[in-house]
Structure 1
Amino acid sequence: MFYSLEKEFFVIPYFSSLYTPLTLQDFSFKKYSQERGVIIPKILRLKQKRRVQLGPDLSITFEHKVLVWFQIHEMLWAERRTQGLEEEIKIYNPLIPKPDILTITAMWEYIEPEERKYKLKNLWNFISYLYVKVEDKKYFSELLSEDSWIPEEDRASSVNFLRFVLPKKVLPHSIHIHHPHYSADAHIPETVWSSFEFS
């Protein structure tokens, strides 16, 4: 297993395991609102460490329990609501990595609406062409099994929640996509895994 949260996240709950699901007890909107100005820079630093640019238009963020915790808090904070927390936890918990599953958010970064519409239609089923490598072995991405994550059938989504199923205690060294309409390769730096350790 590989988990251990950096101690510097003193405002954010310390999770003894980064694999277990989030629960209602992990959230406090009053405290989050009070500490948000301190939390956000720390989250952005963690997110930057776990982000890999795959070619000019595709960014990959390797997910982390703390990032999922933040995303749920931030969504409800932005919408100025405290209702529906239990449902949001249920939706987002599958994004938490497991000992043999890496989860990612893959974002296509097309700003102009017309370009985005055209490109995403051409990139349909890119998921089948996205993979990580461990030595010479390829592990292709998969959709999360939850129905709520299934994208539109005729085009790629701008934001995609995916997973790679790997052997336990194995971390990939590179990520690749070789789709007929988009091809790129990237090294995965050690900083991506700096908030994890084997135990």
Structure 2
Amino acid sequence: MKKIEMSDILNIYEYEKVREQKRKEIIELKKNRRVFVGDMVHLVFENRETVWFQIQEMIRAERMVKDEEIKQEIDVYNELIPDKNELSITMFVEIPDEQERKKLLPQLVGIHDHLWFHIGNKYSVRAIADEKSKKDYQYGKAAVVHFLKLPLTPEQVEAFINSPVKIEINHPNYKAIVDMPEEVKRELIKDLESD
């Protein structure tokens, strides 16, 4: 999937003109790119559009106007765009109550290492977390946001397209398994078929 370049980014003034429309488009797009796995974790599958929107929102929020700042933001967020035969996932651990969150996050250290995709009856593939997620172990509590990639072989991509897919979290303190909804799978197939 093509990475974001400086030429793709709108300046703050131009972005304000289209922001409301783009926000609606992304909300609609993410409806079919989101999966809840149990009652505390939800996954968002990132693509070029979702990443572009995040970059634009960061530029807007931080009032960035310098090219080097914008370029740095692009470089950071480009990591979320999946490569060929890969899915990109943002995992959110959602515990609204602060006291509950303080209690549970230490029990969920390493949750990012327990996300599996079962493709048909043939493949079980573990998602791979980025380096920042591994700081969970250092800090003794799970982060509330994790970034992961699901690298697939060409055979696994073919199976993904043609077979049911289940998503499982099998952390010792958090277990859940769900069928990937068909509408989500259709969106992700588009990602896997793009270059």
The normalised TM-score by structure 2 is 0.84
Distance in 2 (alpha carbons) for counterparts of 1:21 and 1:149: 22
Distance in 2 (alpha carbons) for counterparts of 1:56 and 1:127: 16
Residue 57, structure 1, aligned to residue 40, structure 2:
yes
Of 92-101 and 60-69, the range deviating more from structure 2: 92-101
Distance in 1 (alpha carbons) for counterparts of 2:80 and 2:165: 21
What displacement does 1:114 show?
2.2
What displacement does 1:32 show?
1.5
Structure 1 residues not aligned, in runs of 5+: 1-18
SS in 1 for 2:153: coil
Letter of the 1:25 counterpart = S
**What residue number does 2:55 align with?**
72
Distance in 2 (alpha carbons) for counterparts of 1:174 and 1:65: 24
What displacement does 1:190 show?
2.4
SS in 2 for 1:186: strand
Q: Which of 102, 119, 144 is residue 117 of structure 1 equivalent to?
A: 102
**What residue number does 1:151 align with?**
135
**What residue number does 1:132 align with?**
117
Judge conservation of contact 1:141–1:162 (CA < 8 Å) in 2: yes
Distance 1:174 1:107, change over 3 A: same
Structure 2 residues not aligned, in runs of 5+: none
Distance 1:151 1:66, change over 3 A: farther
Judge conservation of contact 1:91–1:148 (CA < 8 Å) in 2: no
Distance in 1 (alpha carbons) for counterparts of 2:28 and 2:171: 31
Letter of the 1:22 counterpart = I
**Sequence identity of aligned pairs in percent?**
31
Q: Which of 167, 171, 192 is residue 184 of structure 2 equivalent to?
A: 192
What displacement does 1:79 show?
2.4
Residue 25, structure 1, aligned to residue 7, structure 2:
yes
**What residue number does 1:3 align with?**
none
Note the aligned Cα RMSD (angstroms): 1.8
Distance in 1 (alpha carbons) for counterparts of 2:93 and 2:176: 13
Larger relative helix fraction: 2
What displacement does 1:23 show?
0.7
SS in 1 for 2:64: coil
Distance in 2 (alpha carbons) for counterparts of 1:127 and 1:68: 20
